[in-house]
Structure 1
Amino acid sequence: MYRIFIVEDDEKIAAILRNKMEQYGYEAAAAADFRDLMPEIASFDPQLVLLDINLPYFDGYYWCRQIRTRSSVPIIFLSARAGEMDQVMAIENGGDDYITKPIQLELLMAKVRGVLRRAYGEYARPDNAERGDTALEAAAGYAEIIVHGLKLSLSRNELEWDGRSVELTKNESLLAECLMRRPGTIVARETLLEALWDDVQFVDDNTLSVNVTRLRKKLEEIGLAKSIETVRGLGYKLSLDNESKAAPSNG
């Protein structure tokens, strides 16, 4: 049974969401202390967080950043704000998806099921599901991907290059995996969207651009600037073998 933590200060809406989650067989709990959510989240240990943006004391963006310092649990933002920049900020602050109020409950449940499938279910990578024989998974190529010295650890959602490492969110890791499995090849935007989100028709195209920008920044942190090329009108390409990148050390 998946555990879903609801951060919504409107008690009526929180109760509706909790009841809906329980109808679908999930275990659900709603936040009580909006001054400090982290102890409640740590105690409940959810597999998914529904996070409102307009909250007392600190907004949802703040709490998303706090959660991301400790966990890569999927986060779906809930908000009455329907503007493009609000959705961009939600993704930039570490969110996985976004749904506007008034909430269409069946659409929300479709998004919840999709996120859970990608993170833990039939669409999950073996490292995200309950792990079995790790040696077998490693032999099957699931433990890590290495391209021209750049290593993506699928179990830790971490990139390593030339002795430096950086932690990724789930979406950044999925995006890196898609690009690294096709190095030097253009990966269509539609392919990347489908890898990150089930309900592509509900995803603003700019959301993918934001995730790519975030991954580029992570690559820059470990010394790989300009390693993701934009091919206008087509998609993106991972390029690690041109002169703009420093070669990995031999040590």
Structure 2
Amino acid sequence: MYKILIVEDDEIIAKAIKNAIESWGYDALCVSDFRDVIKTFVSYSPHLVLLDISLPFYNGYYWCSKIRKNSKVPIIFISSASDNMNIVMAVNMGGDDFIVKPFDLNVLTAKVQAMLRRTYDFAGQTNLLEHKGAILNTGDATLTYNNKKIELTKNEYKILQVLIENKGKVVSRDTIMTKLWETDSFVDDNTLTVNITRLRKKLDEAGLHDFISTKKGIGYMV
């Protein structure tokens, strides 16, 4: 089921959009915390974002730029600010479409359906995994922290993926090595230790101190 994130501070409009989208069989969520839209975005992992421009605390352009640092998910701006400058700005910031308020809910839903078809008929779903502010994008195998991308090797990415997917739980060394074998890499116990050490150094240099914990004789956890 496709998931649509609605970033609209007018509760009446947001609820109307949510009801219209859900009536077509999609899942929809309205943002409630406008101080940290990214937190909701990461936890919900939507397939499409409907984004107003005028919002409390930070405007839609700000949140669009934040989303674009981590994801290529389609973003449709919805706004009454329909002058050419705002439309050009929305596109330049990474928006995929612009719908002017007031709008017909049927037209909005049709645009959402068309955007989902164009995006996901030809591309796989992008998932974001988050821990302590670090965002791992499983779509392009990148790690972002404090708006900076951290370069990862294939093995380092796989290690982080399995650890963050199981955050709060200890992951055995055998489980991690099995995950690495899926990439056709031969990994023994010593190789895993080297990869973990190198990964920890990269995370530490990026400001992610003590990100990976060792559980002696068992494995690792985040």
Q: TM-score, normalised by structure 1?
A: 0.49
The separation in 1 between residues aligned to 2:68 and 2:85, in whole angstroms, is 20
The separation in 2 between residues aligned to 1:48 and 1:82, in whole angstroms, is 21
Name the structure 2 match of 1:82.
Answer: 82
Name the structure 1 match of 2:124.
Answer: 129
Structure 1 runs, 4 residues or longer, greater than 3 Å off: none
The separation in 2 between residues aligned to 1:60 and 1:95, in whole angstroms, is 10
1:211-222 alignment to 2 at 5 Å? none
Name the structure 2 match of 1:229.
Answer: none
Q: Of the two, which has the highest radius of gyration?
A: 2
The separation in 2 between residues aligned to 1:54 and 1:110, in whole angstroms, is 23
Name the structure 1 match of 2:100.
Answer: 100
* Residue 19 (str. 1) matches residue 14 (str. 2): no
The separation in 1 between residues aligned to 2:108 and 2:84, in whole angstroms, is 19
Name the structure 1 match of 2:176.
Answer: none
Letter aligned with residue 41 of structure 1: F
3-state secondary structure, aligned to 1:51: strand
Give the share of equivalent positions with the same residue, in percent.
50
Task: Please state how far the C-alpha of 1:98 moved relative to its aligned partner.
Answer: 0.3
Task: Please state how far the C-alpha of 1:110 moved relative to its aligned partner.
Answer: 1.4
Task: Please state how far the C-alpha of 1:94 moved relative to its aligned partner.
Answer: 0.4
Name the structure 2 match of 1:185.
Answer: none
The separation in 1 between residues aligned to 2:22 and 2:107, in whole angstroms, is 16
1:178-193 alignment to 2 at 5 Å? none
Letter aligned with residue 43 of structure 1: S
3-state secondary structure, aligned to 1:5: strand
The separation in 1 between residues aligned to 2:37 and 2:14, in whole angstroms, is 15
The separation in 1 between residues aligned to 2:109 and 2:36, in whole angstroms, is 27
The separation in 2 between residues aligned to 1:129 and 1:67, in whole angstroms, is 18
3-state secondary structure, aligned to 2:56: coil
Name the structure 2 match of 1:32.
Answer: 32
The separation in 2 between residues aligned to 1:106 and 1:84, in whole angstroms, is 24
1:171-210 alignment to 2 at 5 Å? none
Name the structure 2 match of 1:70.
Answer: 70
Q: What is the CA deviation profile of residues 111-156 of structure 1, one whole-angstrom value per residue up to 9, with x for unaligned ones?
A: 10111001102xx2xxx136xxxxxxxxxxxxxxxxxxxxxxxx85
Q: What is the CA deviation profile of residues 161-188 of structure 1, one whole-angstrom value per residue up to 9, with x for unaligned ones?
A: xxxxxxxxxxxxxxxxxxxxxxxxxxxx
3-state secondary structure, aligned to 1:89: helix
3-state secondary structure, aligned to 1:73: coil
The separation in 1 between residues aligned to 2:103 and 2:7, in whole angstroms, is 14
3-state secondary structure, aligned to 1:18: helix
3-state secondary structure, aligned to 2:35: coil
Name the structure 2 match of 1:117.
Answer: 117
The unaligned stretches of length 5 or more in structure 1 are: 131-154, 157-251
Name the structure 2 match of 1:10.
Answer: 10
Letter aligned with residue 25 of structure 1: G
How many matched pairs?
128
When the two chains are superposed, the root-mean-square deviation of aligned CA atoms in Å is: 1.5
1:232-243 alignment to 2 at 5 Å? none
The unaligned stretches of length 5 or more in structure 2 are: 126-138, 141-222
Name the structure 1 match of 2:196.
Answer: none
The separation in 2 between residues aligned to 1:59 and 1:110, in whole angstroms, is 25
3-state secondary structure, aligned to 2:115: helix
The separation in 1 between residues aligned to 2:45 and 2:112, in whole angstroms, is 17
